[in-house]
Structure formats: structure tokens, C-alpha cells
Amino acid sequence: MSDLHDVLILGSGPAGLTAAIYAARASLDPLVIEGEPSSTGDQPGGQLMLTTDVENFPGFPDGIMGPELMMQFRKQAERFGAILKTEKATRVDLTEQPFRVWIGDPEAAEPTYRAKTIIVSTGATALMLDQPNEQRLLGHGVSTCATCDGFFFRDHDIAVVGGGDSALEEATFLTKFAKTVTIIHRRDELRGSKIMQDRAFANPKIKFLWDTEVTDVLGDQSVESLALRNNKTDETSELAVTGLFVAIGHRPNTDLFQGQLAMKDNGYLITEAPSTRTNVPGVFACGDVQDDTYRQAISAAGSGCSAAIDAERWLEANE
Ligand code: NAP
């Protein structure tokens, strides 16, 4: 029979590791299934592993590199006894207590782990363009987070790709820093809301390139320009920019929980505010997997703390 854990945490970004720190300090011996590196950019440590300087995480007045910050989270969780496993869950069964989690073969008769409570902190993955050099230059001019990285582009010419509210919001935010922001959209009509469109159209720093696709991101050490193609005329061109913000949406990592945990239409988990409770008693969710509003490391960490406290109280009430 597989080991029975009080608290099993799925995911190891700021939410999961903060939950681990709190659960470990409460002597709940949390087990963290931290994920595995994958070709889609998912990896232990979450989205901060893909950024460079983090300047808005309180406590680091001089900034800290994203991967270094996650290393500190990890060390702090391990110091109090959290066990981290570099594994990816392939199946969960939340239909009865104890919950069951499989690693490897999802059809195996026996689960790998059993747990009285589960904290889901599997995060979200920014959708990317899948262009040849996009991954290579991620953190070196290519970004998926204007709030995190906009500051580095003071007086630069930069571009945002996408035509939804995220792209419009990011572009508008980025005009605080950049000299110009070119929104590159694959159609000739925006998807974003009217108010956001009006705001972007009225902003003298924002320009639009319609019916245009980014076919490559060019630059040796950092972004120098974008290769573009007009999908109506097939005309190709190059746009000199030092930054590319990809804002074509995020995908919450919730495939594992389909049919078991309540989700919004967009796939984000539903929690019972102001708690981290899901629709299954004993299962809690924190971080970006349940947050399509703020999506910040610090808000994820805060909800991770809440999830650990919710799990601790649930165990006390149900033991
Ligand atoms: P979204 O509404 O799905 O828009 C994604 C945009 O990216 C679309 O314009 C889409 O083009 C484009 N796109 C998708 N895949 C692409 C690709 N491979 N190459 C080039 N372009 C691509 O996503 P979102 O903007 O992140 O917004 C998600 C949700 O959050 C929406 O409901 C939005 O209203 C909400 N949101 C609200 C606010 C706010 O109110 N302040 C801010 C941000 C987000 P097409 O238009 O051609 O499909």
C-alpha cells in the first residue's frame, strides 16, 4: 500500500512552495510533487523560472533573479522538512478519502501516493507563438508579463502580440515606460473590450500592425527585431524592437482535474472565496491555477499560505 500523507502539494511555484513552508512549519510533513521540465516551458518552480530580474517581490529591494527567488523558496520549504519530488502526476482520484495520486503509468492498479488533503498549485502556462527563437530569447527581450518586465524597456521601441484585453492592457501599461508600443494582431479587428480598445486607440504611443503575424524573433543575445508577415498580402517585413510581449492568453494547468474539480468556462479552478476550498472537501487550490485576475508571484504566494492554513484546519476538524 502506498504511503499516506497528511498534505500533498501538486506544483512548486510561489503558491505551492509557500503552502509547503506553512504546512511544514505546522508539522504536517508535506510532500510536494514539483513537476518535471517539459517542452511547453512548464517546470519545477513555475513561471518565475522563465523570467530574469524580479523587482516587485517585497523583501528584495535590489531585485532578485526569478530562478534564484524560487531556489530560496525551495530551501526554506526543505529547511522545515518538506519533501520535494521531481515528478509529474499523471492521474488523480479525488472521489474518495484518502485521495489517490499516480506518477508514471496512470493505469497502474495502485496509486503512487495517498493523501488526506491535496493542495493544487499547478499554475498556468502562458501561450506562446512557437516561433524558432522565442524560447531562446525568453527573459532577454521576450516576456509574457508586462507588470514584471515593463520597467526594463524605458524609452525603447517594443511590441505586443495579441488582440485581446491582455494585449491591450499590457500595451497601455507599457506606454508608461516605452517610447512606442506596436500591437501586432493577426486580424484587422480586435477581440478586446470596447473600453480597452478606445483607450489604446487614443494613446499616442501605441501603433497597430493589422493582419500581421510574427514569424521569428531576431537577435543574438537579446531581441533586436521581429520578422513579420502580412497574412493578407504575404508581404514580409522586419520591425526593429528590443522587446516582444506575448499576450495571446494563458492556459491553466487543470487537465488532471477535469470532471473532478469545479472549473470556470476558461478552465480555471473555482475556489470558495475568501478561502482556497474547492468543491471537493479536503482539496484546496492556490496560485495561478485559480487566479485569472492578478497572476502575480506575491498574490500566488499569499494564496499558498491560505491553502496550507485551510488544509491544517480541515485536518484538525476531520481527524
Ligand atoms: P483572449 O481574449 O483569448 O485573446 C487572445 C488574443 O491573442 C486574441 O486576439 C487572439 O487572436 C490572439 N492569439 C491567440 N493565439 C494567437 C497566436 N498563436 N498568434 C497570434 N495571436 C494569437 O486572451 P486574453 O487577452 O488573455 O484575455 C483572456 C480573458 O481575460 C478574456 O476574457 C479577457 O476579457 C480577460 N481579461 C480582462 C482584462 C480586463 O478586463 N482588464 C484584462 C486581461 C484579460 P484572435 O482575436 O484572432 O483570436
Return the best residue to mutate from 248, 250, 266 for the ligand 1 pocket (most ligand atoms within 8 A of CB): 248
Which residues in the chain are classed under CATH 3.50.50.60? Answer: 3-126+250-318, 142-246
Percentage with pLDDT > 90 across the chain: 86
Tens-place pLDDT, residues 215-228: 999 999 999 999 99
Tens-place pLDDT, residues 74-109: 999 999 999 999 999 999 999 999 999 999 999 999
Provide residues with CB under 6 Å of ligand 1.
Answer: 129, 161-167, 169, 186-187, 191, 248-249
Tell which atom from ligand 1 comes closest to the C-alpha of 250. Answer: 26
Percentage with pLDDT > 70 across the chain: 98
DSSP assignments along the chain, one per residue: ---EEEEEEE--SHHHHHHHHHHHHTT---EEE-----TTS--TTGGGGG-SEE-SSTT-TT-EEHHHHHHHHHHHHHHTT-EEE---EEEEE-SSSSEEEEES-TT-SS-SEEEEEEEE---EEE-----TTTTTTBTTTEES-HHHHGGGGTT-EEEEE-SSHHHHHHHHHHTTT-SEEEEE-SSSS--S-HHHHHHHHH-TTEEEE-SEEEEEEE-SSS--EEEEEETTT--EEEEE-SEEEE-S-EEES-GGGTTTS-B-TTSPBP--TTS-B-SSTTEEE-GGGG-SS---HHHHHHHHHHHHHHHHHHHHHH-
pLDDT, average across residues 18-47: 90
Q: How many Å lie between the centroid of ligand 1 and the Cα of residue 275?
A: 28
Q: How many Å lie between the centroid of ligand 1 and the Cα of residue 250?
A: 9
Tell which atom from ligand 1 comes closest to the C-alpha of 189. Answer: 46
Q: How confident is the model at residue 148 (pLDDT cuts 50, 70, 90)?
A: confident
pLDDT, average across residues 256-279: 97
Residue nearest to atom 43 of ligand 1 (CA): 166
Give the chain's mean pLDDT. 95
Residue 149 known to be catalytic: yes
Residue 148 known to be catalytic: yes
Tell me which of 2.60.40.10, 3.50.50.60, 3.20.10.10, 3.40.50.2300 is the CATH number of domain 142-246. Answer: 3.50.50.60
Q: How many Å lie between the centroid of ligand 1 and the Cα of residue 118?
A: 31
Distances (CA, A) of 5 to 112, 113, 199, 316: 11, 8, 51, 14
- The catalytic residue among 6, 42, 149, 310 is 149
Q: Output the pLDDT for position 41.
A: 61
pLDDT, average across residues 46-50: 83
Residue 305 known to be catalytic: no
- The catalytic residue among 53, 145, 286, 291 is 145
For domain 3-126+250-318, the CATH superfamily is FAD/NAD(P)-binding domain (3.50.50.60)
8 Å CB contact between 261 and 285:
yes
Question: Does 50 have pLDDT greater than 90?
Answer: no
Tell which atom from ligand 1 comes closest to the C-alpha of 187. Answer: 47
Q: How many Å lie between the centroid of ligand 1 and the Cα of residue 86?
A: 32
Return the best residue to mutate from 128, 191, 265 for the ligand 1 pocket (most ligand atoms within 8 A of CB): 191
Q: Output the pLDDT for position 26.
A: 98
Q: How many Å lie between the centroid of ligand 1 and the Cα of residue 165?
A: 6
Question: In sequence order, what are the beta bridge partners of 213?
Answer: 229
Tell me how far apart the alpha carbons of residues 302 and 95 are, in angstroms, rounded to a whole number. 28
Single pTM value for the model: 0.82
Question: Does 29 have pLDDT greater than 80?
Answer: yes
Q: How many Å lie between the centroid of ligand 1 and the Cα of residue 188?
A: 14
Tell which atom from ligand 1 comes closest to the C-alpha of 129. Answer: 18
